[in-house]
């Protein structure tokens, strides 16, 4: 059980750097294959470069395409947020104010009695 504290520190640091490297490699491949501006041959070339010369390939990719990498990620995040907002907007349906205005219109047209209107209004306001 002879494992000095400095060796624990170095081992921890190397494991951290290894995980960091794998995360960076995964991030580069994710960006590479999500990018619609690159053709198939360009993606194959970058993939071969990153696989054959991993450290140099990743660093060159980050230098050459790093700025656009961030922009593409922001664009994807904004698009996902807009899709979520649109989904919520369409599935949430009408708000209480719209429902109440429809009830008033139905009452004004004579389709609802005053008693039916009050029950429906109470139901809308309770929801």
DSSP state of 29: H
Residue 83 contacts residue 54 (beta carbons within 8 Å): no
3-state secondary structure 54-121: HHHHHHHHHHHHHHHHHHHHHHHHHHHHHHHHHHHHHHHCCCHHHHHHHHHHHHHCCCCCHHHHHHHH
Residue 100: pLDDT band with limits 50, 70, 90: confident
pLDDT given for residue 94 in this prediction: 59
pLDDT above 90 for 10: yes
Q: How far is CA 13 from CA 7, 8, 27, 39, 65, in A?
A: 10, 9, 21, 38, 28
- CA 35 – CA 8 distance, rounded (Å): 41
- Tell me what the mean pLDDT of segment 60-86 comes to: 92
pLDDT above 70 for 99: yes
pLDDT given for residue 110 in this prediction: 85
- Tell me what the mean pLDDT of segment 97-125 comes to: 86
- CA 67 – CA 64 distance, rounded (Å): 8
């Amino acid at each position: 059980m002879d494992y000095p504290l400095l060796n624990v520190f170095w081992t921890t640091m190397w494991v951290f750097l290894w995980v960091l490297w794998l995360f960076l490699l995964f991030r580069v491949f994710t960006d590479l294959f999500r990018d619609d501006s690159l053709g198939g041959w360009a993606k194959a070339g970058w993939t071969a470069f990153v696989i054959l010369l991993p450290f140099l390939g990743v660093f060159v990719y980050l230098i050459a395409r790093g700025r656009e990498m961030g922009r593409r990620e922001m664009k994807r995040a904004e698009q996902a947020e807009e899709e979520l907002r649109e989904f919520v907007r369409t599935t949430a349906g009408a708000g209480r104010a719209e429902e109440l205005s429809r009830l008033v219109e139905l009452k004004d047209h004579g389709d609802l009695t005053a008693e039916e209107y009050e029950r429906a209004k109470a139901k809308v306001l309770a929801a």
